[in-house]
Amino acid sequence: MIIKETEFPKIYKEKKGGGVLRFSVIFKTDKLPQANNMLFVSLIKEALQKSNPEYYEKIYFYNGKKNKQPKNFCFSIFIQDFEVRDEICYIKDKVFLNISTPDYECGVNIYNGLLKIKNFTYKNFHLNREKIFLVREKKINDNHVVFKTLSPILIRDKNNNFLEPQNEKFNEEMNYICNEILKNYRGFGLKRSLTFQDISLKKKIVKQEIEGFTQITGKKIFYANAYAGLFKLEGAVSDLDDLYKLGIGFRRSQGFGMIEVV
């Protein structure tokens, strides 16, 4: 059933003009590309177009050009039991798409759009939606929190160089993008600077097939250096709470930066 605003559970409408929405979608398929981020980006875009074309245009385009502002959601992919051969993931079980947003309008539009898509095709890959369910998020009440990544964190500098957590610029650039993420969502940025502490992060090279990158460089695959594992973040409680729901780092709407409280 399509969720209408008047029907949506009250626990996901914690504040006027906003809300909290975290949900998972289970898919059945026999295979996915190893570089599958853009497949799910395409799925989310189609969901938004089916649910609310005007909202889709608003967040992805501005004056006829691509809107590069941060989006108010993040997502991660979890695949149960698979093996990789020739850059193809052969799936033996199920695929989970996890989405998080504190933006009620964004969340309901994605949710309702996904309910309208039973089968989805991307190139020669096919997804069959089996189930979609809401997940209650955790509440943050402390100014320092240990998180684990559900999708790897990507931090880069102004020259588009990927940064590792040990880099002296990492904390500065992380603060910059988190400030932009919050400003786009709630109208103002960080209340105080964030302090990032690596606990057990490991480098993860993520392959992406991005049409724009291919057109510019002639290369088929874009390689992103990101980091997955445990880390501690210290800052204002409300900042941490919003970033938990929005995700942190760059390319969150492309499958990076979704986090969970440990």
pLDDT given for residue 220 in this prediction = 62
The answer to whether residues 89 and 83 touch, using CB atoms and an 8 Å cutoff, is yes
Q: What is the mean pLDDT of residues 163-177?
A: 96
- Considering the four listed CATH numbers 3.90.550.10, 3.20.20.70, 3.10.530.10, 3.30.70.1900, the one that applies to the domain covering 144-261 is 3.30.70.1900
Q: Domain spanning 10-134: which CATH class is it, in words?
A: alpha beta
pLDDT given for residue 37 in this prediction = 93
Average predicted confidence (pLDDT) for the chain: 89
Indicate where the chain has its CATH 3.30.70.1900 domain(s).
Answer: 144-261
* Residue spans of beta strands (DSSP E) within 29-160: 31-33, 61-62, 65-66, 74-79, 82-85, 88-91, 94-101, 119-122, 125-134, 144-149
Q: What is the mean pLDDT of residues 60-80?
A: 90
Residue 162 has pLDDT above 90, yes or no: yes
| Closest of 94, 78, 56 to residue 152, by C-alpha | 78
Alpha carbon distance 185, 238 (integer Å): 13
Indicate where the chain has its CATH 3.30.70.1890 domain(s).
Answer: 10-134
Q: What is the mean pLDDT of residues 67-90?
A: 92
Helices (H), the chain: 37-51, 53-60, 104-115, 170-186, 211-217, 237-246
Confidence of residue 20 (pLDDT cuts 50, 70, 90): low
pLDDT given for residue 247 in this prediction = 97
pLDDT given for residue 5 in this prediction = 44
Which tens digits make up the pLDDT trace of 196-232? 999 999 999 988 776 554 555 666 667 889 999 999 9
